[in-house]
Amino acid sequence: MDLDITSIPELTHEELRRLYQLVDATRELDLAAVAWQRQGIIPGYAPELGQEAAQVGSAFAMDTARDFLFPTYREMGVALALGVDMVEYMSTHKASWHGGLYNPVSTGLAPIQAVVGGSVLHAVGWAHGQRLSAAPGSELPAAMAYFGDGASSQGDVHEAMNFAGVLKAPVIFFVQNNGWAISLPTQDQVAGGTVAARAAGYGMPSVTVDGNDAPAVVRATRAALAHARAGNGPVLIEAMTYRRGPHSTSDDPGRYRSLDEERRDAGADPVARLAALLLEDGAADQAFLDASRSEAKAHAEKVREGVQALEPRPGREMFDFVFAEPTDTLKAQARAWREESEHV
Protein backbone atom coordinates (compact mmCIF):
# COMPACT_ATOMS: atom_id res chain seq x y z
CA MET A 1 0.00 0.00 0.00
CA ASP A 2 1.45 3.34 -1.06
CA LEU A 3 1.17 6.33 1.25
CA ASP A 4 -0.64 9.28 -0.33
CA ILE A 5 1.25 12.57 0.02
CA THR A 6 -0.82 14.63 -2.43
CA SER A 7 -2.76 16.32 0.38
CA ILE A 8 0.42 17.67 2.00
CA PRO A 9 0.93 21.33 1.00
CA GLU A 10 4.06 22.60 -0.67
CA LEU A 11 6.59 24.35 1.53
CA THR A 12 6.36 28.11 2.02
CA HIS A 13 9.17 30.38 0.89
CA GLU A 14 10.21 30.88 4.49
CA GLU A 15 10.40 27.12 5.02
CA LEU A 16 12.42 26.69 1.83
CA ARG A 17 14.94 29.30 2.93
CA ARG A 18 15.41 27.68 6.33
CA LEU A 19 15.64 24.26 4.72
CA TYR A 20 18.39 25.48 2.41
CA GLN A 21 20.38 27.00 5.27
CA LEU A 22 20.32 23.66 7.09
CA VAL A 23 21.23 21.62 4.01
CA ASP A 24 24.04 24.03 3.16
CA ALA A 25 25.39 23.98 6.72
CA THR A 26 25.29 20.18 6.71
CA ARG A 27 27.28 20.01 3.47
CA GLU A 28 29.94 22.39 4.76
CA LEU A 29 30.31 20.67 8.13
CA ASP A 30 30.43 17.23 6.52
CA LEU A 31 33.25 18.25 4.18
CA ALA A 32 35.06 19.88 7.08
CA ALA A 33 34.77 16.74 9.23
CA VAL A 34 36.42 14.63 6.54
CA ALA A 35 39.26 17.17 6.42
CA TRP A 36 39.58 17.06 10.22
CA GLN A 37 40.01 13.30 10.09
CA ARG A 38 42.74 13.64 7.46
CA GLN A 39 44.43 16.25 9.66
CA GLY A 40 44.31 14.04 12.76
CA ILE A 41 41.78 16.20 14.64
CA ILE A 42 39.29 13.30 14.84
CA PRO A 43 40.16 9.61 14.40
CA GLY A 44 37.21 8.62 12.23
CA TYR A 45 34.05 9.86 10.54
CA ALA A 46 31.18 8.51 8.40
CA PRO A 47 30.61 11.02 5.55
CA GLU A 48 27.14 11.79 4.19
CA LEU A 49 28.02 13.65 1.00
CA GLY A 50 24.93 13.44 -1.21
CA GLN A 51 22.52 12.53 1.61
CA GLU A 52 21.99 16.02 3.05
CA ALA A 53 18.48 16.49 1.64
CA ALA A 54 17.25 13.14 2.96
CA GLN A 55 18.56 13.78 6.44
CA VAL A 56 17.66 17.43 6.86
CA GLY A 57 14.30 17.05 5.09
CA SER A 58 13.17 14.21 7.36
CA ALA A 59 14.26 15.92 10.59
CA PHE A 60 12.78 19.24 9.44
CA ALA A 61 9.28 17.73 9.58
CA MET A 62 9.57 16.35 13.11
CA ASP A 63 8.42 17.97 16.36
CA THR A 64 11.08 17.42 19.03
CA ALA A 65 8.71 18.68 21.72
CA ARG A 66 7.00 15.29 21.46
CA ASP A 67 8.73 13.12 18.85
CA PHE A 68 11.99 11.19 19.20
CA LEU A 69 14.55 10.35 16.52
CA PHE A 70 16.90 7.36 16.57
CA PRO A 71 20.05 7.84 14.47
CA THR A 72 22.85 5.64 13.22
CA TYR A 73 26.45 6.86 13.04
CA ARG A 74 25.79 8.86 9.85
CA GLU A 75 22.98 11.28 10.82
CA MET A 76 24.99 14.45 11.38
CA GLY A 77 22.53 16.37 9.18
CA VAL A 78 19.63 15.17 11.33
CA ALA A 79 21.37 16.38 14.48
CA LEU A 80 22.16 19.75 12.93
CA ALA A 81 18.57 20.22 11.74
CA LEU A 82 17.31 19.49 15.26
CA GLY A 83 19.55 22.18 16.74
CA VAL A 84 21.89 19.77 18.56
CA ASP A 85 25.16 21.36 19.69
CA MET A 86 27.52 20.05 17.03
CA VAL A 87 30.59 20.06 19.23
CA GLU A 88 28.73 17.78 21.63
CA TYR A 89 27.59 15.64 18.67
CA MET A 90 31.12 15.40 17.28
CA SER A 91 32.49 14.24 20.64
CA THR A 92 31.79 10.68 19.49
CA HIS A 93 33.91 11.17 16.38
CA LYS A 94 36.60 12.71 18.57
CA ALA A 95 36.38 9.44 20.57
CA SER A 96 35.89 11.37 23.80
CA TRP A 97 32.38 10.07 24.47
CA HIS A 98 30.35 7.25 22.95
CA GLY A 99 26.93 8.32 21.71
CA GLY A 100 27.51 12.08 21.92
CA LEU A 101 27.69 14.51 24.83
CA TYR A 102 24.37 16.14 23.93
CA ASN A 103 21.26 15.56 26.05
CA PRO A 104 18.93 13.11 24.23
CA VAL A 105 15.88 14.12 26.27
CA SER A 106 16.10 17.85 25.56
CA THR A 107 17.12 17.46 21.91
CA GLY A 108 14.79 14.63 20.91
CA LEU A 109 17.73 12.72 19.42
CA ALA A 110 18.75 9.36 20.85
CA PRO A 111 22.48 8.64 21.31
CA ILE A 112 24.49 7.82 18.19
CA GLN A 113 24.16 4.09 17.48
CA ALA A 114 27.08 2.22 15.91
CA VAL A 115 25.38 -1.19 15.83
CA VAL A 116 23.95 -1.71 12.35
CA GLY A 117 20.15 -1.75 12.65
CA GLY A 118 20.29 -1.53 16.45
CA SER A 119 18.52 1.79 16.82
CA VAL A 120 15.47 0.52 14.92
CA LEU A 121 14.51 -1.76 17.80
CA HIS A 122 14.86 1.11 20.25
CA ALA A 123 12.61 3.32 18.12
CA VAL A 124 9.83 0.74 18.02
CA GLY A 125 10.03 0.16 21.76
CA TRP A 126 9.80 3.87 22.46
CA ALA A 127 6.90 4.30 20.02
CA HIS A 128 4.99 1.37 21.51
CA GLY A 129 5.43 2.88 24.97
CA GLN A 130 3.99 6.17 23.76
CA ARG A 131 0.94 4.39 22.37
CA LEU A 132 0.37 2.53 25.64
CA SER A 133 0.59 5.69 27.75
CA ALA A 134 -1.44 7.99 25.48
CA ALA A 135 -4.94 9.10 26.42
CA PRO A 136 -7.65 7.43 24.30
CA GLY A 137 -8.27 9.33 21.08
CA SER A 138 -5.29 11.67 21.51
CA GLU A 139 -2.75 12.43 18.79
CA LEU A 140 0.33 10.28 19.26
CA PRO A 141 3.98 11.28 19.37
CA ALA A 142 6.07 9.50 16.75
CA ALA A 143 9.48 7.90 16.53
CA MET A 144 11.79 8.13 13.54
CA ALA A 145 14.18 5.20 12.98
CA TYR A 146 17.07 5.80 10.56
CA PHE A 147 18.88 3.02 8.73
CA GLY A 148 20.36 2.28 5.33
CA ASP A 149 19.62 -0.18 2.56
CA GLY A 150 22.37 -2.43 3.90
CA ALA A 151 20.95 -2.45 7.42
CA SER A 152 17.55 -3.38 6.02
CA SER A 153 18.89 -6.93 5.62
CA GLN A 154 19.57 -7.25 9.35
CA GLY A 155 17.29 -9.53 11.36
CA ASP A 156 16.79 -6.84 14.00
CA VAL A 157 15.18 -4.56 11.41
CA HIS A 158 12.74 -7.24 10.25
CA GLU A 159 11.79 -8.08 13.83
CA ALA A 160 11.26 -4.40 14.59
CA MET A 161 9.04 -3.83 11.55
CA ASN A 162 6.94 -6.89 12.33
CA PHE A 163 6.54 -5.84 15.97
CA ALA A 164 5.55 -2.31 14.90
CA GLY A 165 3.09 -3.57 12.32
CA VAL A 166 1.35 -5.96 14.67
CA LEU A 167 1.07 -3.45 17.52
CA LYS A 168 0.51 -0.35 15.34
CA ALA A 169 3.41 1.52 16.92
CA PRO A 170 3.66 5.15 15.74
CA VAL A 171 7.08 4.84 14.15
CA ILE A 172 8.50 5.92 10.80
CA PHE A 173 11.14 3.64 9.31
CA PHE A 174 13.31 6.03 7.30
CA VAL A 175 15.56 4.18 4.87
CA GLN A 176 18.32 6.15 3.20
CA ASN A 177 18.98 3.98 0.16
CA ASN A 178 22.34 5.39 -0.91
CA GLY A 179 23.04 2.59 -3.35
CA TRP A 180 25.71 0.84 -1.32
CA ALA A 181 25.99 -1.45 1.70
CA ILE A 182 29.64 -0.49 2.21
CA SER A 183 31.06 -2.12 -0.96
CA LEU A 184 28.00 -4.10 -2.04
CA PRO A 185 25.50 -2.45 -4.42
CA THR A 186 21.85 -2.48 -3.41
CA GLN A 187 20.77 -4.79 -6.23
CA ASP A 188 23.09 -7.47 -4.92
CA GLN A 189 21.73 -7.50 -1.36
CA VAL A 190 18.07 -6.37 -1.47
CA ALA A 191 15.80 -8.87 -3.21
CA GLY A 192 13.51 -7.03 -5.60
CA GLY A 193 15.73 -3.96 -5.57
CA THR A 194 13.63 -1.89 -3.19
CA VAL A 195 13.24 -1.81 0.57
CA ALA A 196 9.83 -0.13 0.32
CA ALA A 197 8.29 -3.28 -1.18
CA ARG A 198 8.91 -5.11 2.08
CA ALA A 199 6.58 -2.82 4.02
CA ALA A 200 3.44 -4.57 2.75
CA GLY A 201 4.56 -7.80 4.39
CA TYR A 202 4.46 -6.08 7.74
CA GLY A 203 1.08 -4.44 7.22
CA MET A 204 2.31 -0.90 6.77
CA PRO A 205 2.15 1.63 3.93
CA SER A 206 5.29 2.89 2.27
CA VAL A 207 6.43 5.73 0.08
CA THR A 208 9.47 5.99 -2.15
CA VAL A 209 10.75 9.53 -2.42
CA ASP A 210 13.57 11.25 -4.30
CA GLY A 211 16.09 11.59 -1.48
CA ASN A 212 17.92 14.36 -3.32
CA ASP A 213 14.79 16.55 -3.28
CA ALA A 214 14.66 18.12 0.19
CA PRO A 215 11.12 19.59 -0.04
CA ALA A 216 9.78 16.24 -1.29
CA VAL A 217 11.36 14.49 1.70
CA VAL A 218 9.72 17.00 4.06
CA ARG A 219 6.29 16.39 2.53
CA ALA A 220 6.68 12.60 2.57
CA THR A 221 7.70 12.73 6.23
CA ARG A 222 4.76 14.97 7.12
CA ALA A 223 2.38 12.52 5.43
CA ALA A 224 3.93 9.64 7.36
CA LEU A 225 3.64 11.60 10.60
CA ALA A 226 -0.06 12.27 10.00
CA HIS A 227 -0.62 8.55 9.48
CA ALA A 228 1.28 7.52 12.61
CA ARG A 229 -0.12 10.26 14.86
CA ALA A 230 -3.67 9.21 14.00
CA GLY A 231 -3.01 5.76 15.47
CA ASN A 232 -2.82 4.00 12.11
CA GLY A 233 0.54 2.40 12.82
CA PRO A 234 3.97 2.56 11.20
CA VAL A 235 5.13 3.82 7.80
CA LEU A 236 8.25 3.06 5.77
CA ILE A 237 9.87 5.86 3.77
CA GLU A 238 12.58 4.92 1.29
CA ALA A 239 14.62 7.95 0.26
CA MET A 240 16.51 7.14 -2.94
CA THR A 241 19.83 8.95 -2.86
CA TYR A 242 23.53 8.19 -3.45
CA ARG A 243 26.59 7.99 -1.26
CA ARG A 244 29.01 10.20 -3.17
CA GLY A 245 31.99 9.47 -0.98
CA PRO A 246 33.38 6.58 1.05
CA HIS A 247 31.41 4.57 3.59
CA SER A 248 33.76 5.92 6.22
CA THR A 249 37.09 7.71 6.29
CA SER A 250 38.78 4.31 6.46
CA ASP A 251 37.04 3.10 3.28
CA ASP A 252 38.44 3.26 -0.27
CA PRO A 253 35.47 3.34 -2.67
CA GLY A 254 37.87 3.10 -5.58
CA ARG A 255 38.20 -0.61 -4.83
CA TYR A 256 34.59 -1.32 -5.79
CA ARG A 257 33.48 1.52 -8.10
CA SER A 258 35.10 3.96 -10.49
CA LEU A 259 34.91 7.74 -10.48
CA ASP A 260 33.08 7.56 -13.80
CA GLU A 261 30.46 5.28 -12.22
CA GLU A 262 30.13 7.64 -9.27
CA ARG A 263 29.58 10.65 -11.53
CA ARG A 264 27.10 8.71 -13.69
CA ASP A 265 25.00 7.30 -10.85
CA ALA A 266 25.08 10.10 -8.25
CA GLY A 267 22.19 12.08 -9.75
CA ALA A 268 21.41 15.71 -8.98
CA ASP A 269 23.44 17.30 -6.20
CA PRO A 270 20.89 17.94 -3.41
CA VAL A 271 22.40 21.27 -2.32
CA ALA A 272 22.67 22.70 -5.83
CA ARG A 273 19.20 21.38 -6.65
CA LEU A 274 17.60 23.16 -3.70
CA ALA A 275 19.49 26.37 -4.49
CA ALA A 276 18.16 26.29 -8.06
CA LEU A 277 14.62 25.77 -6.75
CA LEU A 278 14.86 28.79 -4.46
CA LEU A 279 16.05 31.00 -7.28
CA GLU A 280 13.46 29.66 -9.74
CA ASP A 281 10.55 30.09 -7.30
CA GLY A 282 11.67 33.52 -6.15
CA ALA A 283 12.07 32.27 -2.59
CA ALA A 284 15.60 33.70 -2.41
CA ASP A 285 18.23 35.49 -4.44
CA GLN A 286 21.92 34.88 -4.98
CA ALA A 287 22.81 37.19 -2.10
CA PHE A 288 20.87 34.92 0.26
CA LEU A 289 22.67 31.84 -1.05
CA ASP A 290 26.06 33.54 -0.67
CA ALA A 291 25.23 34.64 2.87
CA SER A 292 24.14 31.10 3.72
CA ARG A 293 27.45 29.71 2.50
CA SER A 294 29.40 32.24 4.55
CA GLU A 295 27.39 31.34 7.67
CA ALA A 296 27.94 27.64 7.00
CA LYS A 297 31.70 28.09 6.75
CA ALA A 298 31.79 30.17 9.93
CA HIS A 299 29.74 27.55 11.76
CA ALA A 300 32.05 24.74 10.64
CA GLU A 301 35.08 26.69 11.84
CA LYS A 302 33.45 27.31 15.22
CA VAL A 303 32.71 23.59 15.56
CA ARG A 304 36.31 22.74 14.67
CA GLU A 305 37.57 24.99 17.44
CA GLY A 306 35.19 23.37 19.90
CA VAL A 307 36.14 19.84 18.86
CA GLN A 308 39.84 20.57 19.22
CA ALA A 309 39.21 21.94 22.71
CA LEU A 310 37.44 18.78 23.89
CA GLU A 311 39.28 17.07 26.72
CA PRO A 312 39.24 13.33 27.44
CA ARG A 313 36.35 12.24 29.64
CA PRO A 314 37.07 10.71 33.08
CA GLY A 315 37.55 6.98 32.71
CA ARG A 316 35.28 6.23 35.68
CA GLU A 317 32.30 7.37 33.60
CA MET A 318 32.39 4.06 31.74
CA PHE A 319 30.64 2.48 34.72
CA ASP A 320 28.01 5.17 35.28
CA PHE A 321 25.51 4.48 32.52
CA VAL A 322 25.54 0.71 32.09
CA PHE A 323 22.48 -0.10 34.22
CA ALA A 324 19.86 2.06 35.92
CA GLU A 325 20.78 0.22 39.13
CA PRO A 326 24.42 -0.95 39.08
CA THR A 327 24.96 -4.62 39.84
CA ASP A 328 27.37 -5.89 42.47
CA THR A 329 29.67 -7.13 39.70
CA LEU A 330 29.73 -3.71 38.05
CA LYS A 331 30.44 -2.05 41.39
CA ALA A 332 33.33 -4.41 41.95
CA GLN A 333 34.72 -3.65 38.50
CA ALA A 334 34.45 0.07 39.17
CA ARG A 335 36.29 -0.28 42.48
CA ALA A 336 39.05 -2.32 40.84
CA TRP A 337 39.42 0.24 38.07
CA ARG A 338 39.69 3.11 40.57
CA GLU A 339 42.32 1.24 42.57
CA GLU A 340 44.40 0.47 39.50
CA SER A 341 43.95 3.73 37.59
CA GLU A 342 43.30 6.41 40.20
CA HIS A 343 44.99 4.65 43.15
CA VAL A 344 42.05 5.30 45.45
Domains delineated in the chain:
13-313 (3.40.50.970), 315-344 (no CATH)
Give long-range contacts, CB 8 A cutoff, 24+ apart: 249-252: 249/34, 249/37, 249/38, 249/44, 249/45, 249/46, 249/47, 250/44, 251/182, 251/183
Residue-level pLDDT at 190: 87
List all residues 6 or more positions away from 119 whose beta carbon is below 8 Å from its beta carbon.
70, 71, 72, 110, 113, 145, 146, 147
Look up 102 and say whether it is catalytic: no
Nearest to 107 by CA among 127, 145, 81, 134: 81
What is the pLDDT at residue 299? 98
Q: Which of 18, 73, 229, 256 is catalytic?
A: 256
Cβ-in-10-Å burial (0-12, 13-18, 19+) of 93 comes to buried
Classify 83 in phi/psi space as left (phi over 0), alpha (psi -120 to 50) or beta: left
pTM of the model: 0.92
Residue 167 has what DSSP assignment?
H
pLDDT value, residue 344: 62
pLDDT at 318 (0 to 100): 84
Q: Looking at 27, 247, 299, 304, which residue is catalytic?
A: 247
Enumerate the β-bridge partners of residue 143: 68, 171
Q: Which residues of the chain have pLDDT under 70?
A: 1, 344
Spell out where 178-251 has E strands: 180-181, 184-185, 206-210, 235-240
Whether the CA torsion 273, 29, 49, 176 is positive or negative: it is negative
pLDDT of residue 11: 97
Among the listed residues 243, 244, 299, 304, the single catalytic one is 243
Beta 184-185 vs 180-181: how paired, if at all?
antiparallel
Report d(CA 135, CA 157) in Å as an integer: 29
Tell me whether residue 98 is one of the annotated catalytic residues. Answer: no
- Per 3-state DSSP, the chain is made up of helix, strand and coil in percentages (nearest 5) of 50, 10, 40
Residue 227 appears among annotated catalytic residues:
no
The per-residue pLDDT for 184 is: 86
